[in-house]
């Protein structure tokens, strides 16, 4: 069983604004689960590269996928990578330009990327991926073909060497600046799902499924 928290390492320990650091698994899981978008950094041909991709979490592992022909995934397999997730929660407008900031939630993970080889396990992971993005979607789709599974690469890293960082609240100004007649405060940001837009090639009579009409896709 994995530990309930990830002790900070030299790479994950926050040195600036350390009070914003979170190392417990609940905080890390919350940030990772709040958005499907991550960025993965690795070395390709000896040079740094960062690629955006979609991720999902299963227990204490984070997974991401792509084409089996992807140079990025081939470069990452078996090597140390850095995976990051960031959510912008708002603009923090202070009374001076220096103290402007943003509210955010972020997570940074370090680990060695492992590839999922077994076709049945890959298929199961891809089902979990779809269900993590759009719950209840999988059972309505046509089954994946063996070629589609083969054409997909899935990598993972454990949530072992990781940290989260959270900034919330209003502006923090110099004490003298609170006497200035300047508006200060926050402008919240949210990521929410909009109304579904049907494909014009949908068959007649095919209606929007119930799982797309409620608030289930909202991410906050």
Q: What is the pLDDT of residues 40-73, one digit of tens each?
A: 999 888 889 899 999 999 999 999 999 888 877 8
How many Cα atoms are found within 13 Å in the side-chain-facing hemisphere of 61?
16
CATH superfamily membership of 18-172+183-212: Electron Transport, Fmn-binding Protein; Chain A (2.30.110.10)
pLDDT for the residue numbered 213: 82
Task: Classify burial at 195, counting beta carbons within 10 Å of its beta carbon; exposed 0-12, middle 13-18, buried 19 or more.
Answer: exposed
How does pLDDT run across 59-116, given as a tens digit for each residue?
999 999 998 888 778 777 788 999 999 999 999 999 999 999 999 999 999 999 999 9
Q: CA–CA separation, 198 vs 83, rounded Å?
A: 33
Q: Quote the Cα angle for 29-30-36, to 5°.
A: 85
Burial 85-106 (b: 16+ CB within 10 A, else e): bbbebbebbbbeeeeebebbbb
Grouping H, G, I as helix, E, B as strand and the rest as coil, residue 101 is: strand
pLDDT for the residue numbered 46: 85
């Amino acid at each position: 069983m994995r530990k309930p928290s990830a002790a900070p390492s030299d790479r994950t320990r926050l040195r600036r604004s350390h009070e914003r650091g979170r190392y417990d698994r609940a905080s890390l899981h919350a940030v990772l689960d709040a958005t499907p978008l991550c960025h993965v950094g690795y070395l390709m041909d000896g040079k740094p590269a960062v690629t955006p991709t979609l991720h999902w979490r299963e227990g204490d592992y984070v997974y991401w996928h792509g084409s089996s022909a992807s140079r990025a995934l081939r470069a990452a397999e078996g090597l140390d990578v850095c995976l990051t997730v960031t959510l912008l929660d708002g603009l923090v407008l202070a009374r001076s330009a220096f103290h402007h900031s943003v509210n955010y939630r972020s997570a940074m993970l370090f680990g060695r990327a492992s590839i999922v080889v077994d076709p049945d396990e890959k298929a199961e992971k891809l089902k979990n991926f779809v269900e993590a993005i759009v719950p209840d979607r999988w059972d309505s789709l046509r089954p994946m073909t063996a070629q589609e599974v083969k054409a997909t690469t899935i990598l993972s890293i454990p949530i072992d060497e990781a940290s989260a960082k959270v900034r919330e609240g209003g502006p923090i100004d110099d004490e003298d600046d609170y006497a200035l007649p300047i508006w200060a405060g926050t402008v919240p940001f949210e990521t929410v799902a909009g109304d579904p837009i049907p494909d014009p090639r949908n068959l007649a009579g095919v209606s929007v499924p119930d799982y797309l009409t409620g608030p289930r896709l909202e991410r906050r």
